Structure 1
Amino acid sequence: MMRIRHDQRSNEIPTPAVSFQPESVQMAVMKEKLTDQEAVVAIGQQDVRVRFVDGVPSDRSFMVRLVKQEGGTWVAQAVPLSSIGRFVPASLDDGIDLWLSARGIRLTEKEKEAVRRFWETEGGSIKQKQETVAALTAKQLEVTETHLRLAHEALHGPPLGDLLAPLLTKTEEPEETDEAKGVPVREQTERWEGSRAYAAASELVLPPAETRTFVMTAVTEKMRQLVHDFRVWQRDMARQLEQFSHAVAQQATERATPLVESLIHSLDRMLLNGDWLLFTDMKTETKLLEAGAKLAEAKRGLAEGKMDEAAKTVREVKALLESLRFQPSEQKVMRFFLESDERQGMKPHEQLSRILKQASQAARDNALSARGVVESLRRLGFFHEQEAARALLSGERLPPAENVKAMLLSWVEEGTAPAQAERVLMNLTGQQLLNKFTADSHTQTMLYQWPLSLHGEMATVHVHVNARSGNGQLDWQNCRLYFLLDTNQGKVGISLQAIERQLSVTVETESEKLAAVLQSYASTVKDHLEQIGYRVQRLVFQPMDTEDEERAATDRIKTENETSQWEWTI
């Protein structure tokens, strides 16, 4: 067996002395103070004797501007880190090394070369390029030219909504006919089962009989499958809840803990991927979110040894889930029926237009729910690679391209992609890179650009997320969110900070008129947040200033300075 002995001395290669240039700015570490004016400092791997014009700095680490050399001593000036941008480095490489050193970013020579080429060729200000490099290294991604360009496009390129707008065809959705408007809406409390689910759709103006029969059959079968899936899931949850109750009754904490974690996982999976949930209303989703909040309470109760409280909470969850009935929304069934028909013989550019409209019109028909937002991001292609990999690993047949990214990639391969396709793909892929889950980090930072159709135009909501992480998941009970939207009445920024489900909300606007409009919804928003498990401690409205907007744009979420001349608080 070969043994490899590591000898520290064998790695001690003498480092040749570096020749410093006058007016260069270097990172220095204090080694020994000789007098009030002179000291020995470490610059790189060299010890340098320095005479400071303004006296020896008190900090251990600092920047120095080397003025001139007198014998074996350099005359220098200490430079605050906040002021290094005012000094011009001797070369681009020196400037990059200076900036990287000041922020503790360590790169290989190959990565530094990629940064240098990025610095020389990419558009944007120096500050924007610095933000791009910092964001990429924070995600522990390899620093390559490609990664830098993608991240830069996502951070500082045009908003995704602006890039997607030209891809929408000029064809507007057909207006609702008077006949369709006159169709009575059944009470949502009516029980829907399998073949009855398409009854509302059958009252619309339909295509030829053959196509109509085919589509209605498909809808009927789909509804039957959804009813079956819902009942199976409901029975499985009831069984697990019963097992948890038995474990708690026997004071078996070790057995109860994995059971409650499994329940939370099953509920989360249903909220994110359950097909039947796509056809229900927001009330059903709200109940599921409420159940998730109660299960989190039960888990915390177990950890604190409060078995009786945990058992009581789980009984409440069991009653809540048993009260659920699968009652598809008429509007959603109608839409599924019509979209199933529209897909027949649709041209590629029409398919892309349809997907874009679905992704950007998530607010219609009360679809602006948690699941509605996830489906909107899915249609854009944020989960494309993840879902394709899952299908391959499970041996499933790859589904047809039903997201923007997949369609544009196929067009690029065929050489038929529109001119702006490359920038859209760069934006989406750059966001995916910056949303990479860092496994060994206790916190995660993510950002999304969510295109939304407002007043007939494509707007972009910038969403910044910072949350604790554990077991590969974000902690929704301890997180920060910032939403930034540019409206026709000015920008709106919404900051939410949750600590153990105690929620502080700050709404920033550029106009008092817009603030007054938003204030009218404050009580409704507060009630909704409390329904899904948060306790709103503070809801504040205040003006937005330029500094706040810039901080939001660079993914630094504003959570302070929540007072103003027209503060309004619940």
Structure 2
Amino acid sequence: MQIMKGINANSLPQREQSASPLKQGEVCSLLIKTRIGNEEAVAVIKGQEVQVQFEGKMPSGDRLTAVIGAVNEKGLLVVRPTASQPAGITNITDSLKTMMANAGFPFETNRDLLAAAKRAAASGGTVNEEILTNLQYFLAEEPGTISEKLKTIATMLEKKLELSVSQLHAVHQTLHGKNTAETLAQLAQSLGIPIGLETQTALPEKEFQVINQALEGKGDLYSAVEKWFMEFMAEKNDGTPETQIDQTLAAEVVHTQQAVPAKKIIVTEITKRLAGLAADFKKEQRSISLNLEQLAKSTNSKQNRATAKQTLENTIHKLNQVILKSDMMLYADMETEKHLLTASSRLAEAGGLIEKGNLAETKAIVQEIKGLIDKIQFKPANVKIMHFTEDLLKQSLPRQNTLKQTIKTQIEQAVKPPAIKQPSARQIFENIKALGLTHELDAAANLLQPKQEQLSRLNASLKQDPERTVLPLDPQTKHNAMQQSEQELNLKAALIKFLQSESSYTSSGHDAEQTIAHLTGQQLLNKSEATGMQQLYLQLPLLLNNKMENIKVYVSSEKQGETLDWENCSLYFVLETKKMGEIGIMVHVQNRQLSLTFKNDQELFQAKMEPLTGAALERLQEIGYHTGAIQYGAFTNSTMPTGEQPTSAASETRKAPAAVKKGFDFSI
């Protein structure tokens, strides 16, 4: 399975910059484009092409840091490379001291600012009075130690991020502020919205089997859904507050004749959704199967190698689109998702065989996967259809859809833990989207879509289609829902909208701002790099036992065009637990050979973990990984690569895992 790029901080709205004037004494990075003789050149400084004259000998390299001088009698800007003289370090320090004095920050009382400015200049970044002002404000006003703030600045310089006040604040909040779980918990508290997931006790699977049989053509789907729905409503009407959606409505639908139209509408909606998903799945299944059949034929001759490779890449792409982006996987059971993941990984393996010219083995894998694809039956999961049904019931209730309710819904979606019996990679991706970490990318893609295509993505209950029975919604609710769908509403978008009507001076407004900054900081840290490495840093909040918990995730991989190499990558998970302290899980994959290392400082950790690891290895093997022995080690000396402040004093000087390099780029 390919790992597609999902978040790109280049798409984030950033402060518009015009070409700023070059000031004498300013330290800037410089790129030589054209050399003119031994002393003159056309160079790019701060995005502007300028003809310059070097003070002394012109450097041999094209990229350097230089101090801006005066304009000479020829009208050329004089520049002095900071490392062109033995006193280069002194020169740059003196230039920065002069600039600080001009900005009103004498270095005698601002030595931390001088250290930050020297670091910025040494990294090739631009240093001017505006940058100095931003750095001074950040060092003086932002909570945290000087060490933490300097680490934040260093991380931003590595990522080539603009040192603006807002971005410094956002990245610092992510690295050294409260974690995502704590931030969301505080936000929910200040808004007065209790966050908790209803106890979801799925109906016995035997009650649901009749629906899957009907989807296979063995029985009437409407009748099967109707029977299951009645069981579902009876369960909801058991008098237990934790499992009630609306006891009055449930009793009405189950027991009274007056609610027959409402029941019929909901049952019809579920039936049409299931029938539509099954039909879409069969269509994609048929298309993929035909591709594989064509691929098998093209492997009969070495002359068709290029054609076979292209067909294989198209097939893998189609499979990954089904797994990551289609609505089908939002309702499919774990077995269906697992089969598709296995098919994608095995076909990726076949791609390597094509490169080696091993067409016979490629053909064998393709035929094997074609047989697997042809046998898959789309089977929705009981618990996922229950969630969909609950949403339909909630839509039918007469209530005001306030912005706070939207924020509550998005937080609950973002922290929803995977179902115990139906764990799903797709659900984790939906949780990430609910936070708003793909907000700008989704909004941009939505704007580029034709209007008709946008409308087709609306929930069926919002369409005014005379041939389709929908839930009765008032015009204002339809309008609100239409707006929400068109804007790809998520937590970040909802909070931005909330701040339009709420002052940041209130506690709820302040917490909303902090949450937005925290999410934006993650996006900035995931900025795309021009190097061959792509990396990811995420904080995933999960609601466990009605308490918000936080998981930190780091991913490092070589790039393959617009994708990450999932067969050769490293993942590092950090979990904070009450009983065992911090636990690190290092997953390293090389040529599909997967090694696992668990890190913790407790003496009995290995003994407690060993009984649990067998099932985890089996699941990894099922989707195409080869697993080796599990290693155990201490957590104390194995830190995270972001320069974050450790949570325990004993971990003050941790080092980053060797597999994770600097910089982070989030790609799904």
Give TM-score scaled by structure 2 length: 0.68
Q: Is the 8 A contact 1:201 1:333 kept in 2?
A: no
Find the counterpart in structure 2 of residue 384 from structure 1. Answer: 439
Look up the match of 1:170: 194
Match of 1:267 in 2: 319
Q: Shift in Å at residue 454 of structure 1?
A: 1.8
Question: Which of 520, 524, 534 in structure 2 is aligned with 1:444?
Answer: 534
Contact 2:152 2:171 in 1 (8 A): yes
Residue 221 of structure 1 is matched in structure 2 by 272
Question: Is the Cα–Cα contact under 8 Å of residues 133 and 148 in structure 1 kept in the other structure?
Answer: yes
Structure-2 change in CA distance of 1:338 and 1:499 (3 Å): same
State the shift of 1:325 in Å: 0.4
What is the rounded CA distance, in whole Å, between the counterparts of 2:503 and 2:330 in structure 1? 33
Q: After superposition, where does 1:437-476 map in structure 2 within 5 Å?
A: 437-438=528-529, 440-476=530-566
Q: CA deviation at 1:171?
A: 6.9
Residue 412 of structure 2 aligns to which amino acid in structure 1? K
Select 1:237's aligned residue among 279, 288, 295.
288
Which amino acid in the other structure matches residue 379 of structure 2? Q
Are residues 1:277 and 2:339 paired?
no
Q: How does 1:323-338 map to 2 (within 5 A)?
A: 323-338=375-390
SS of aligned partner of 1:467: strand
Could you tell me how far 1:262 is from its partner in structure 2? 0.9
Determine whether 1:525 maps to 2:576.
no
Aligned match of 1:548: 638
Q: Given the alignment, which residue of 340, 345, 355 partners 2:410?
A: 355
User: Deviations for 1:387-426, whole angstroms, at most 9, x for unmatched residues?
Assistant: 2221221122465354211221221123278331111111
Matches within 5 A, 1:364-375: 364-375=419-430
Structure 1 distance, partners of 2:502, 2:232, is 39
Amino acid at match of 1:358: Q
3-state SS of the aligned residue for 1:265?
A: helix
8 Å CA contact 2:584–2:599 kept in 1: the answer is yes
Name the CA distance, whole Å, in 2 between partners of 1:340 and 1:314.
41
Does the residue aligned with 2:232 lie in a helix, a strand or coil?
A: coil
With over 3 angstroms needed to count, the CA separation of the structure-2 counterparts of 1:183 and 1:229, relative to structure 1, is closer
Moved more, 122-131 or 229-238: 122-131
Q: Is the 8 A contact 1:197 1:328 kept in 2?
A: no
Cα deviation, residue 350, structure 1: 3.1
Q: Which residue of 2 aligns with 1:288?
A: 340
Q: 1:14 and 1:64 mapped to 2: Cα distance?
A: 18
Q: Quick one: higher RCO (CA 8 Å, sep 6+), 1 or 2?
A: 2
Query: AA paired with 2:348?
Result: A
Q: Distance in 2 between matches of 1:188 and 1:139?
A: 54
> What corresponds to 1:413 in structure 2?
500
For 2:115, the equivalent position in structure 1 comes to: 95
CA contact (8 A) 1:360 1:376 kept: yes
Q: Which position in structure 2 is the counterpart of 1:7?
A: 36
Question: For 2:448, which of 393, 399, 403 is the aligned residue?
Answer: 393
Cα deviations across residues 237-285 of structure 1 (Å, max 9, x unaligned)? Answer: 0111122122212320111111111111111111111211111222221
Instruction: Go from structure 1 to structure 2 and tell me whether the alpha carbon gap of 1:90 and 1:455 turns closer, same or farther (over 3 Å shift).
Output: closer
Matched letter for residue 350 of structure 1: Q
Residue 135 of structure 1: how far off its partner (Å): 2.8
SS at match of 1:318: helix
Segments of 5+ residues of structure 2 without an aligned counterpart are 1-32, 42-50, 57-64, 66-79, 93-107, 216-220, 234-249, 254-258, 456-482, 646-654, 660-668
Q: CA deviation at 1:116?
A: 4.1
User: SS of the counterpart of 2:535?
Assistant: strand
Offset, 1:324: 0.7
> Does the residue aligned with 1:296 lie in a helix, a strand or coil?
helix
Alignment partners' CA distance in 2, 1:320 and 1:372: 23
**Secondary structure of 1:479's partner?**
strand
**1:248–1:307: 8 Å Cα contact kept in structure 2?**
yes
Tell me if structure 2 keeps the 8 A contact 1:197–1:333: no
The yes-or-no answer on 1:135 pairing with 2:155 is yes
Which range is displaced more, 510-519 or 310-319? 510-519
Q: Which moved more, 1:509-518 or 1:225-234?
A: 509-518
How much does 1:293 deviate? 1.1
The whole-number CA distance in structure 1 between the counterparts of 2:117 and 2:599 is: 38
Aligned AA for 2:125?
Answer: R
**Aligned counterparts of 2:638 and 2:564: Cα–Cα separation in 1:** 25
Per-residue CA distance 1:5-51 (angstroms, 9 max, x = gap):
973526554659xxxxxxxxxx9xxxxxxxxxxxxxx99256347xx
Name the CA shift for 1:175/1:284 in 2 (closer, same or farther; >3 Å): closer
Q: Secondary structure at the match of 1:124?
A: coil
Letter of the structure 1 residue corresponding to residue 424 of structure 2: S
Give 1:66-81 correspondences, 5 Å limit. none
1:120: Cα distance to partner? Answer: 3.3
Query: Take 1:119 and 1:222, find their aligned partners in 2: how far apart are those partners?
Result: 55
Q: Give secondary structure in 2 for the equivalent of 1:134.
A: helix
SS of the aligned residue for 1:107 comes to: coil
Unaligned 5+ segments in structure 1 are 17-26, 28-41, 50-60, 67-87, 561-570
- Contact map agreement 1:443 1:469 (CA 8 A) in 2: yes
Tell me the CA shift for residue 481 of structure 1.
0.8
Change (3 A) 1:301 1:499: same
8 Å contact kept, 2:152–2:175? yes
Match of 1:432 among 523, 526, 543: 523
Check conservation: 1:512, 1:543, Cα contact below 8 A. Answer: no
Distance 2:160 2:643 in 1: 21
Deviations for 1:288-337, whole angstroms, at most 9, x for unmatched residues? 11111111111101111111111111111111111110111112111110
Question: Kindly tell me: are residues 548 and 520 of structure 1, through their superposed partners in 2, closer, same or farther at Cα, counting changes over 3 Å?
Answer: same
Please report how far the alpha carbon of residue 499 of structure 1 lies from its aligned counterpart in structure 2 after TM superposition. 1.3
Instruction: Calculate the aligned-residue CA RMSD, in Å.
Output: 3.5
Question: Match of 2:638, SS?
Answer: helix
1:320 matched to 2:351: no
- Contact 2:119–2:154 (8 Å) recurs in 1: no
Contact 1:443 1:468 in 2 (8 A): yes
Task: Look up the equivalent residue of 1:44 and give its one-letter code.
Answer: T
- Answer whether contact 1:15 1:45 (CA < 8 A) is retained: no
> How many equivalent pairs are there?
498
1:162-198: CA deviation from partner (whole Å, max 9, x where unpaired): 1112417337555679xx8789644499424253456
Provide the TM-score with structure 1 as the length reference.
Answer: 0.78
Deviation at 1:528, TM superposition (A): 1.1
Q: Is the 8 A contact 1:491 1:509 kept in 2?
A: yes
Cα 1:553/1:508, change in 2 over 3 Å: farther
Cα pair 1:211 1:341 within 8 Å, conserved: no
Other-structure match for 1:19: none
- Give the stretch that moved more between structures: 252-261 or 505-514: 505-514
* Amino acid in structure 1 at the alignment position of 2:232: L
Larger deviation: 444-453 or 148-157? 148-157
Match of 2:468 in 1: none
2:490 aligned partner: 403
Q: Is the 8 A contact 1:359 1:376 kept in 2?
A: yes
1:203 alignment counterpart? 231
